[in-house]
Amino acid sequence: MTSLWEATAVRPREGARMLEGDVRADVLVIGGGMAGVLSAYLLTQAGCRCVLAEKDRAGGSVTANTTAKVTAQHGLVYDKLVKQEGPDRARQYFEANQAAVEGLRQLAASVPCDFEERTAYVYAEQSAAALERERNAYERLGIPHHELASAPVPLPNKGALGMEQQAQFNPLKLLYGLLPSIDVYEHAFVTGVEGNTARTDRGSITADYIVYATHYPLVNVPGLYFMKEHQMRSYVIALEGAPLTDGMLISDGGGFSFRTYRDFLLVGGGGHRTGEGPKPSEGYAEVRSFTDAAYPEAQERYAWATQDCMSLDHRPYIGVHRRSRPNHYVATGFSKWGMTGSYVAARTITDLIVKGRSSVQGLFSPQRSMLHASLFSNLGTSTANLVKPGRRCSHLGCCLAHNDVEDSWDCPCHGSRFAADGTVLEGPATKPISV
């Protein structure tokens, strides 16, 4: 289905090229979503001869379907970060993401993309005590905030915690606006990387540095990404005629999220692990049954599904892809916060390539500990689906589930998706399936 961003942003007529033969560059960025385009843009601005390879059209996949909240408030993250990593690292996480808000604000000053400052709220559907602990963490870390006794959403709640000076925008307007400033090859599907050379069906690209910005890394067995990431699907409905909220809101417990764009109210929810649903009551049905009851006068204008890559500890993996290839970098696992995550990744990888270091390389290192509960649930899902009979995924052979709502074959192990004719919709798979 067409997202609101696809319906309202105009793709530039010129700019992207077709790859013909073999080319050479300082840096190859693989993936033309927000993380890839921002990385290519910052690297180019820093003086690198950088090319970007995108398998379809730039901005045509995950970025087209985000809710595009630009915020350092990632649910209830700071209390956990203080406890698990200590206040210095928690502050570093906030500062890196707030710098991303500012970086995107600066880009928006020259690329019109409906960037608007908003307060981001997390509202307590489940626990006032957890919200109180998060507020204490904000105070300790010096994060500008305020509280509401009740969140302005048509749901019972126990108050909200607002992070000030956050933003929302139209992601495709920004992405399209940056394309003329970078060297882009579209319809260049990288199916493998050998040494410093990426192969596509139209030729090859050899570069001193390679950046994997393909949402789920294209190369994921070396690096163990197949163990440390899974994907989630959730659903967004854009309503016309509903009362507009003043701010961006998200539930503390996986419930509904809200933001506005022009006269539209965007409501998101219905999330589930890709390949494990949606059940009849999930997905669009869950969001629609809520919006029908809460906004009976409103009209649904757009509906679309998003795909999120979840890391083990809900912190992105940004940095060296694997130790044996120190000149290969990765940006993945944004865990539902892909706009600030993309900018943090672009800034960090640019610093690593140009300066040889980044102040946040330890915080986001892909080589950090994997000992988290979700590692065992990822392994359990993979084991169960590797032996289950049925149609096989072309990635690592798990049993695919049919997604009746979107008429696709979805993989519960790592989230690859295939169209009804077997072509790849979402990676990490790179080969079609036979249907």
Binding residues (CB under 6 A) for ligand FES: these are: 393, 395-398, 411, 413-416, 428-429
Query: CA–CA separation, 426 vs 264, rounded Å?
Result: 28
227 versus 354: smaller Cβ distance to ligand FES: 227
Smallest gap from residue 226 Cβ to ligand FES (A): 6
Kind of pairing between the strands at 229-240 and 264-273: antiparallel
Four-point Cα dihedral 307, 312, 314, 318, nearest 10: -90
Please, what is the minimum distance in Å from the beta carbon of residue 424 to ligand FES? 10
Single-letter amino acid, residue 248: M
Residue (of 393, 396, 375) closest to 333 by Cα position:
375
Select 305 or 413, whichever has its Cβ closest to ligand FES. Answer: 413
Nearer of residues 210 and 411 to ligand FES, judged by Cβ: 411
Which CB sits closer to ligand FES, 186 or 308? 308
DSSP element (H, E) containing 4: helix 4-8
Q: Which is nearer to ligand FES, 319 or 428 (CB)?
A: 428
Residue closer to ligand FES (CB basis): 177 or 428: 428
Q: DSSP character for 205?
A: E
Residue 247 or 415: the one with the smaller Cβ distance to ligand FES is 415
Residues β-bridged to residue 24? 206
Beta strand residue intervals within 225-288, DSSP E: 229-240, 248-251, 257-261, 264-273
| In contact, 382 and 371? CB cutoff 8 Å | no
- The residue (of 52 and 411) whose beta carbon lies closer to ligand FES is 411
Residues paired with residue 229 on neighbouring β-strands, in sequence order: 311
Q: What is the closest distance, in whole angstroms, from the C-beta atom of residue 229 to ligand FES in the complex?
A: 10
Q: Which residues contact 11 (CB under 8 A, 6 or more apart)?
A: 57, 59, 176
| Residue 149 Cβ vs ligand FES, minimum distance, rounded to whole Å | 45
Q: How far is the CB of 134 from ligand FES (least distance, A)?
A: 34
Query: From CA 269, how far away is CA 324, in angstroms rounded?
Result: 40
Alpha carbon distance 147, 149 (integer Å): 7
Q: How far is the CB of 59 from ligand FES (least distance, A)?
A: 23
Angstrom distance (rounded) from CA 292 to CA 393? 36
Least distance from ligand FES to the Cβ atom of residue 248, Å: 31
Kindly tell me the burial class for residue 10, based on how many C-beta atoms sit within 10 Å of its own C-beta (0-12, 13-18, 19 or more). Answer: exposed
Place of tokens 């022009």: 262
Shortest Å distance, C-beta 385 to ligand FES:
8
Distance CA 218, CA 325 (A): 15
> Nearer to ligand FES by C-beta: 215 or 347?
215
Q: How far is the CB of 404 from ligand FES (least distance, A)?
A: 19
Cβ proximity of 422 and 282 under 8 Å: no
